[in-house]
């Protein structure tokens, strides 16, 4: 190691952080969710809604728009802050459960219909290609095709809106999914254990997610441009780091990714590589792997600009680096008194412990506000909510970088939800029957007064006719106002809405207070 020259790459970025200045949480969030992607979601959702073969759904569905999609995002943001036992509980009028914000955004029926129809790509039958001989050949099925437009869009936006600092890291993250899924993975060290795995490149200091790849099984080799004979871990690193090569970054990775060959590739492309290493990897010196060591002892070897080091702590630790030698240093000492002296550690170990936790830092900051906490019937909706949640965290980092001030995470999310509702709630499409009470719905009340509305009895069901009983329903005005009253047998002949004859019939059609 006396001949090893540990020259660190010169960081070439003049400016790091947010590419554009943002003044509010709303502006930072809309830099990811612009009108183009929202328009795509609206188009696919309205198109998919027409294919749902349900008479009840079709009778209540009306087309959505970008404003309503943003309000749906705000609904989920609040659901990540206010933990409700079930989705139905969000619309409860029970005084112990009643939460006005959810009922202000959606009615229960509208929320259920909108989330049922929410779609991101045309899910029609697979297309076929025709080879030169004239026979049709089925295209290879993309297992994550239902989210492909969202994944590509966010990857592009994450990379173009932010320039990471010098120290970055690559690691896996897991989105919890317990249902049946062929791409589901098990990672013992993660809190979720089972779920959908993503390979992520994050900034070490802030946890900003800069780029990611969703694992899709053996088929992911096509997405990674993996050549024969190349390890999948190496292909993942090359795919994620490609836009940042030749800029002097310092990349931290664990032993699943690292190898001497990959470290040499990164160093030759102007990027330093630091991390743990599996001793069984190809080209690792046998002496480093097998030499007996006592606790605290170090053995190191190098080949040109790549060094490999073994350090005996409680267990043997093998490290690889292109910018560290075999030097040691004391770890950062805390203010509390220590019962035993602090041992010296290799500098490469100290730097690895300091800068490797970017992905874990991101997951830790997301944990208190999980939008995907509620069980989903569709795995891609779970992953979509996770990506939406990450975009909110990245928005907060953008705002902090723009203003140079720290922003409380909870206050940021509340401000974002409030801004979305103020700007877009009044522009949501209105239902054919009724919506929640809102002072901005006067044009709907005027529409009701233009028609002849007369009270009538509710239509009988087969069960009520068999028992010779009158059919009753809860009055929508009483339900909206949170009043506990008996059910009514009357409804509006035109609107088909159950209403009490005393006051409620007039209130519903004119908007006057009782």
User: What would the pLDDT profile of 126-167 be if each residue is shown by its tens digit?
Assistant: 434 444 444 333 344 778 889 999 999 999 999 999 999 999
Contact 157, 208 (CB under 8 A): no
The pLDDT of residue 430 is 78
CA distance 102 to 74: 10
CA distance 358 to 353: 11
CA distance 44 to 47: 5
* Strand duo 194-203 + 167-176: pairing: antiparallel
The pLDDT of residue 170 is 96
The pLDDT of residue 142 is 78
Q: What are phi and psi of 259, to 5 degrees?
A: -160, 155
Of 143-152, 334-343, 453-462, the one with minimum mean pLDDT is 334-343
pLDDT over 90 at 362, yes or no: yes
Cα-to-chain-centroid distance, residue 214 = 12
Q: What are phi and psi of 247, to 5 degrees?
A: -125, 5
Residue for token pair 């723009």: 402
Beta bridge partners of 299: 310
Q: How far is CA 261 from CA 119, 232, 282, 306, in A?
A: 43, 13, 8, 9
In SS3 terms, 33-62 reads as CCHHHHHHHHHHHHHHHCCCCCHHHHHHCC
Joined tokens for residue 28: 């930072």
Contact 121, 146 (CB under 8 A): yes
The pLDDT of residue 410 is 95
The pLDDT of residue 342 is 66
196-246 pLDDT per residue, tens = 999 999 999 999 999 999 998 876 666 677 777 788 899 999 999 999 999
CA distance 299 to 288: 6
The pLDDT of residue 131 is 41
Of 102-116, 134-148, 416-430, 483-497, the one with minimum mean pLDDT is 134-148
pLDDT over 50 at 185, yes or no: yes
- Please report, rounded to a whole number, the percentage of residues in the chain having pLDDT higher than 70: 86
Domain boundaries, the chain: 17-123+363-427, 255-329+343-354, 442-510
The pLDDT of residue 201 is 96
CA distance 232 to 118: 34
51-83 pLDDT per residue, tens = 998 888 998 999 999 999 999 999 999 999 999
The pLDDT of residue 452 is 67
- Please report, rounded to a whole number, the percentage of residues in the chain having pLDDT higher than 90: 50
Contact 378, 175 (CB under 8 A): no
- The listed range with the strongest mean pLDDT (127-141, 168-182, 244-258, 452-466) is 244-258
The pLDDT of residue 266 is 94
DSSP string, 303-369: ETTEEEEEEESSSEEEEEESS--S-EEPPPPPSSPPSSPPPPEEHHHHHHHHHS-HHHHHHHHHGGG
The pLDDT of residue 204 is 95
Write down the H helix ranges in 106-187.
108-117, 148-160
The pLDDT of residue 343 is 78
CA distance 276 to 236: 17
The pLDDT of residue 326 is 84
Contact 210, 242 (CB under 8 A): no
pLDDT over 50 at 510, yes or no: yes
* Strand duo 136-138 + 128-130: pairing: antiparallel
Q: Which residue has the higher pLDDT, 482 or 360?
A: 360
The pLDDT of residue 237 is 94
The pLDDT of residue 331 is 81
pLDDT over 60 at 450, yes or no: no
For the chain, the distance separating the N- and C-terminal CA atoms, rounded to the nearest angstrom, is 87
Of 271-285, 352-366, 422-436, 485-499, the one with minimum mean pLDDT is 422-436
| Among 175, 88, 75, CA closest to 118 | 75
Tell me the pLDDT band of 193, cut-offs 50, 70 and 90.
confident
The pLDDT of residue 13 is 87
Q: Which long-range contacts (CB under 8 A, 24 or more apart) does 302-310 make?
A: 302/1, 302/3, 302/4, 303/260, 304/264, 305/5, 305/7, 305/264, 305/267, 306/260, 306/263, 306/264, 306/267, 307/1, 307/4, 307/6, 308/260, 308/277, 308/284, 309/346, 309/348, 310/279
Contact 329, 344 (CB under 8 A): yes
Average pLDDT, the chain: 85
pLDDT over 60 at 446, yes or no: no
The model carries a pTM of 0.79
CA distance 413 to 67: 18
Q: Which residue has the higher pLDDT, 478 or 398?
A: 398
SS3 of residue 81 by DSSP: helix
* Strand duo 17-18 + 162-163: pairing: antiparallel
């Amino acid at each position: 190691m006396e001949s090893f020259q540990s020259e660190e790459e010169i960081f070439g970025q003049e400016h790091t952080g947010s590419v554009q200045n943002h003044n509010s949480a709303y502006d930072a969030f809309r830099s990811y969710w612009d009108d183009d992607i929202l328009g795509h979601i609206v188009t696919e959702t309205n198109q998919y809604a027409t294919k749902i073969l349900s008479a009840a759904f079709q009778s209540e569905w009306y087309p959505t728009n970008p404003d309503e999609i943003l309000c749906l995002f705000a609904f989920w943001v609040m659901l990540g802050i206010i933990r409700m036992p079930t989705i139905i509980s969000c619309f409860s009028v029970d005084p112990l459960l009643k939460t006005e914000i959810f009922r202000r955004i959606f009615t229960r029926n509208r929320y259920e219909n909108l989330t049922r129809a929410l779609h991101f790509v045309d899910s029609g039958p697979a297309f076929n290609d025709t080879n030169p001989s004239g026979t049709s050949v089925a295209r290879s099925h993309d297992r994550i095709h239902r989210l492909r437009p969202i994944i590509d869009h966010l990857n592009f936006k994450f990379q173009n809106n932010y320039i990471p600092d010098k120290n970055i890291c690559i690691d896996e993250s897991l989105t919890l999914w317990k249902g049946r899924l062929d791409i589901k993975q098990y990672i013992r060290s993660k809190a979720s254990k089972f779920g959908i795995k993503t390979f992520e490149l994050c900034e070490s200091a802030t946890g900003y997610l800069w780029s990611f790849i969703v694992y899709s099984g053996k088929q992911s080799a096509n997405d990674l441009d993996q050549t024969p004979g190349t390890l999948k871990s190496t292909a993942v690193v090359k795919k994620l780091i490609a836009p940042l090569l030749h800029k002097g970054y310092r990349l931290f990775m664990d032993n699943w990714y690292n190898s001497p060959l990959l470290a040499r590739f990164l160093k030759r492309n102007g990027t330093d590589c630091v991390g743990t290493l599996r001793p069984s990897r190809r080209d690792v010196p046998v002496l480093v792997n097998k030499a007996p060591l006592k606790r605290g002892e170090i053995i190191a070897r190098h080949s040109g600009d790549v060094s490999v080091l073994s350090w005996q702590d409680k267990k043997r630790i093998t490290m690889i680096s292109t910018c560290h030698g075999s030097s040691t240093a004391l770890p950062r000492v805390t203010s509390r008194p220590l019962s035993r002296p602090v041992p010296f550690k290799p500098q490469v170990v100290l730097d690895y412990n300091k800068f490797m936790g970017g992905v874990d830092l991101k997951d830790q900051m997301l944990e208190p506000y999980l939008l995907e906490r509620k069980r989903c019937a569709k795995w891609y909706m779970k992953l979509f909510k996770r990506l939406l949640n990450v975009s909110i965290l990245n928005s907060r980092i953008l705002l902090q970088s723009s203003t140079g001030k720290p922003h409380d995470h909870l206050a940021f999310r509340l401000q974002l939800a409030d801004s979305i509702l103020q700007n877009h709630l009044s522009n949501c499409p209105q239902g054919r029957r009724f919506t929640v009470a809102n002072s901005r719905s006067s044009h709907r009340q005027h529409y009701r007064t233009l028609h002849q509305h007369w009270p009538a009895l509710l239509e009988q069901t087969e069960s009520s006719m068999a028992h010779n009983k009158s059919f009753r329903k809860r009055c929508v005005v009483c339900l909206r106002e949170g009043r506990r009253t008996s059910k009514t047998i009357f409804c509006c002949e035109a609107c088909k809405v159950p209403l009490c004859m005393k006051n409620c019939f007039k209130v519903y059609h004119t908007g006057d207070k009782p």
